[in-house]
Structure 1
């Protein structure tokens, strides 16, 4: 696969004549934004501190959603090490509490309540938008701490596209190849967009400072291979300047290994896991119709299918499944949903939006060969209203309310350990109310201040309610929604055209937090105490964020962001929140020869983070330096080179799961 990608690299290098209408490179990507896929709050400014553009992702070499989102203040990236999954934290909230969307369509595996962000490649996106604290009620349920929306591309020219290909290598040999191909056409009343992206990694190179141990000898990290391929086709019809109707089809296929735990926690199991399939297929429709000069109707309809296979093996040969820890697990889940949004400005100085949203989730769990499958079904319905009142040219008031209803249709379990018959769990329904208020003040052309308060909720996932955690827990179908009261201040200061500064202070007070409660019941057969997920937690998240962009000279750009967060468990102060450092600092300096030729130095520093709630095991503090270079060879061709983890730092974001050491990357892009 990597040889094929490098062949495309060479083909791109000898085809400069393809550049009929060259797009800008370097600082500007020339990528058209699919506006219909955005969800915005009228009157609330979305600064660059909440958005990562295609140009920024390309400049910083961020190939996955996790990497791209991690460039923003208040965002921390971790790994669910035991499953080799990424996890994005927004102001301390994980992805079950901050849902992921593509063009406003919710994306998550119905059983888990979230989806692995490392499986989403950025090469076909126009940008990523992150809402923090105050999130539009039009997104729908479960936005306890915010929302992440990936926005796709929309063509602007009669013919446009790009080809990118490259490879990465450690200190001795190639470890990964990647590539993408995007082609599109806008013919006025209709357009078509197609893209293919791939990332093929044989292994992750460990730092030379990694000390070999029993289950990992260093160098090439064992069982760390991943293969991702994603294809998208979008067809749109634009009969006039205000109306638009588009259908998008997306298919993803992934395979991945799960590196073995290498830490010092004796209770952490040694697993030999592989995901043979991590597949997702989606089709969705988005339409927007103007109703006169003051109103519109926007509709979404979608279908998602997730198919995952997990194999647990006996040992590091990954060939046999004979011991008690070996098993097979398959998810065959699907989602059907849609929404209708009506907006009108018929009332002077007001923009009113009303929405109905519905989502049906089905989880089909298939165990070892010969076992019966278990079915789980939920349906979630929401009614939302949001109004923006432009009180003056300087002040806007935004109010929103949403009522969510979750119905449990089916939830099955085996009647006994023979797994010969199936019975139903008790079926419990829930509802939750969300409300928020914000005041946006534009003091003058240099200052903008926003204050907000939001009461938000999250329904417990199927896994929260019904999982036995591989025999270590008992289920709890009676779980209630989590609740949070979020409030904060956002301030933007633009003293000149060369400097923009943003600062935020916030606090979230959480109640009915779903937490693990130990020693709930004793299993005499295994002689172990079992735990249960319960609504026992109360906690407070408080934090501060700052970011600044500065261009003092035509040839020099600088960016810096800092995040500080304190997460306190009010119910049990001895329990620590995991996976998020208290302090994080990151930024870059960019030295420009011209728009497409530059050198960039990127760095970040993270303090330690807890990996277990008792605080005994931590991932230590670390600092990284990355070096990037871009060379515009002509109007069509761009060469990009980078060195990540320049000083080969041995570090972790989850204790026992080391991150890659020094890695070199070389790629070329041909734009046309």
Structure 2
């Protein structure tokens, strides 16, 4: 059988007793013989997640160059930016299945714990066209675990105490799997409960928040991730997966109403459920891979009249509402080796349905207030051409089309909301050059498109916005040049990039009612012009027998080319992450890291821009391994009790202590 470079397929399929730890059927990659089967991806491994004590996906990826976390206090959620592109412009997948929220494309990364994750694959500019539409800002693919033995697993408990050594949070997790001759089963279960977090002692009390414990900071999350796979033979495999995520969260009050409205919100539930069927078949010189999926998202939001969080009134800012959204779709990929070419054809189809309801303030009756449906089709072709033993040329193009299938809004003054359609071609090309076994150069140009969401086009934002059904898609062109050098104990990476964005979408005030009170303004999403994202990413890691040190630095400049005064917010100009670990004995180690964030704009309620204060945090821990299967950790986060905030109205936790116990079998 010929040697085939397959997307998401490793030698495990050809030798069933050599299975990888990551669920390979869930991977979607651009492959290359020159670059160890990974071209423009960065992978965050389970090892690095545990090293940094990253409890959520947002914490884990905040340590990756080019990616920045943003805590959106007004929504009580954590989001991510890739090179300045927000979550709506990033495709988010779990085991290759799209899971971003259909209505607005947002994704609360803080709701998803890392305890059942084998790795997280991130693509930035150049990315596989097989992912389908809406990957303008990049792709995040969260890969779950897959068993390697007849019986294996882990038990983990993580307990957090505040600066007064009072219980604040706990995370408990179980992972267990079995690999047999013809099948495997993997179960992941986790539970997290946050009682509160305590603010830094440097926080100055306000009318809305006293010193000490943060008001309304309780959260609870639980998740089940179950999959079963059947190995038909050495060349074929199918797997059925089921993920059930249930959460609830409180909304802390804004501490500074110059930056956020005074509001009293709660989310009684925030739930996601996903089921998928994945399979692949390898032939002599080709392969076929397919996935079918159904993803459901439900949440509820209550907006109360006052800080008792118990009463409502007849004013518009108090309400009880819920979303009941779902998506279903499929992906089919066919790859074949023809001479020096590895050709891949792919097709994606996805239907998104959003249903919004008002819940009566006096009883449990519900009223449908909005319903939207979009259908998205994506067709792609990709080729890896081996020019020589040291050089490869990659090229791909996709055609993406989104059709508005249905739109209903009970408040619409328009008889029949215009549905509209959007379509685009997205070409990309890359060159890889490997002059020796330790050095590789990459250059790429990629055209990407953001097909506008339902919320972008239709939302009235509780009466403060005017819909724009004819809103055009955003387009970006990504230019990237990178260098990677792998020496005996050291890895070095340098990447420069520019992303030019056309028809950028921003909310624009279209009616200020002749007053200075911004609460009465009416806004509309419009295509306002051009932005350019420019930056440099530096990565370095060193390791010897008893010492590890490494980290990354990202410089990012976001330039408004239209000179209309608008700025992109929440993204720092400078971000640094560095870590070091020293083994004192064979079973005792010390670990520490540092994070620095500087130069992010944010917008005040009066629509003026200010720069969020620079902050630096330090974490440290002691690691004790009495045996190869058991690990105990004692540590502290935000060692200096630094007062900081991603959003100036919503401060972050002060100093916290933690204890972690993990047993692997």
TM-score normalised to the size of structure 1? 0.91
Q: Which residue of the partner structure matches residue 351 of structure 1?
A: 342
SS in 2 for 1:465: helix
Q: 1:156–1:414: structure 2 CA closer, same or farther, 3 Å change rule?
A: same
State the alpha-carbon separation in 2 of the partners of residues 634 and 641 from structure 1.
17
Matches within 5 A, 1:239-254: 239-254=232-247
Q: CA deviation at 1:258?
A: 1.2
Q: Which residue of the partner structure matches residue 179 of structure 1?
A: 172
Matched, 1:398 2:394: yes
Corresponding residue to 2:372 among 373, 376, 386: 376
Q: Which residue of the partner structure matches residue 198 of structure 2?
A: 205
Q: 1:239–1:501: structure 2 CA closer, same or farther, 3 Å change rule?
A: same
Q: Which residue of the partner structure matches residue 561 of structure 1?
A: 552
Q: 1:615–1:438: structure 2 CA closer, same or farther, 3 Å change rule?
A: farther
What does the per-residue CA deviation read over 1:463-513, in whole Å, with 9 as the maximum and x for residues that have no partner?
A: 10011112111000001111001111011012x211110000000000011
Matched, 1:437 2:429: yes
Matches within 5 A, 1:592-603: 592-593=583-584, 597-603=588-594
Q: 1:527–1:258: structure 2 CA closer, same or farther, 3 Å change rule?
A: closer
State the alpha-carbon separation in 1 of the partners of residues 443 and 609 from structure 2.
38
Corresponding residue to 1:298 among 289, 292, 316: 289
Q: Considering only aligned residues, what root-mean-square deviation do their CA atoms show, in Å?
A: 2.0
Q: Which residue of the partner structure matches residue 13 of structure 1?
A: none
Matched, 1:666 2:659: yes
Q: Which residue of the partner structure matches residue 94 of structure 1?
A: 86
Q: CA deviation at 1:321?
A: 1.3
Q: CA deviation at 1:615?
A: 5.1
State the alpha-carbon separation in 2 of the partners of residues 49 and 338 from structure 1.
23
Q: CA deviation at 1:594?
A: 5.7
Corresponding residue to 2:600 among 585, 600, 609: 609
Corresponding residue to 2:126 among 105, 124, 134: 134
Q: CA deviation at 1:457?
A: 0.1
State the alpha-carbon separation in 1 of the partners of residues 251 and 141 from structure 2.
27
Q: CA deviation at 1:629?
A: 2.1
Q: Which segments of 5 or more consecutive residues in structure 2 lack a partner in the other structure? A: 1-18, 361-365
Q: CA deviation at 1:49?
A: 7.9
SS in 2 for 1:571: coil
What does the per-residue CA deviation read over 1:160-202, in whole Å, with 9 as the maximum and x for residues that have no partner?
A: 0011113101122001111000110000210000110111001
State the alpha-carbon separation in 2 of the partners of residues 596 and 180 from structure 1.
23
Matched, 1:34 2:23: yes
What does the per-residue CA deviation read over 1:446-466, in whole Å, with 9 as the maximum and x for residues that have no partner?
A: 321000001110111111001
SS in 1 for 2:334: strand
Q: Which segments of 5 or more consecutive residues in structure 1 lack a partner in the other structure? A: 1-29
Does the 8 Å contact 1:412/1:423 carry over to 2?
no
Q: Which residue of the partner structure matches residue 641 of structure 1?
A: 634
Corresponding residue to 2:457 among 456, 465, 471: 465
Corresponding residue to 1:217 among 201, 206, 210: 210
Q: Which residue of the partner structure matches residue 363 of structure 2?
A: none
Q: Which residue of the partner structure matches residue 256 of structure 2?
A: 263
Matched, 1:577 2:573: no
SS in 2 for 1:308: strand
State the alpha-carbon separation in 1 of the partners of residues 514 and 355 from structure 2.
27
SS in 2 for 1:492: strand
Q: Which residue of the partner structure matches residue 8 of structure 2?
A: none
Matches within 5 A, 1:157-168: 157-168=149-160
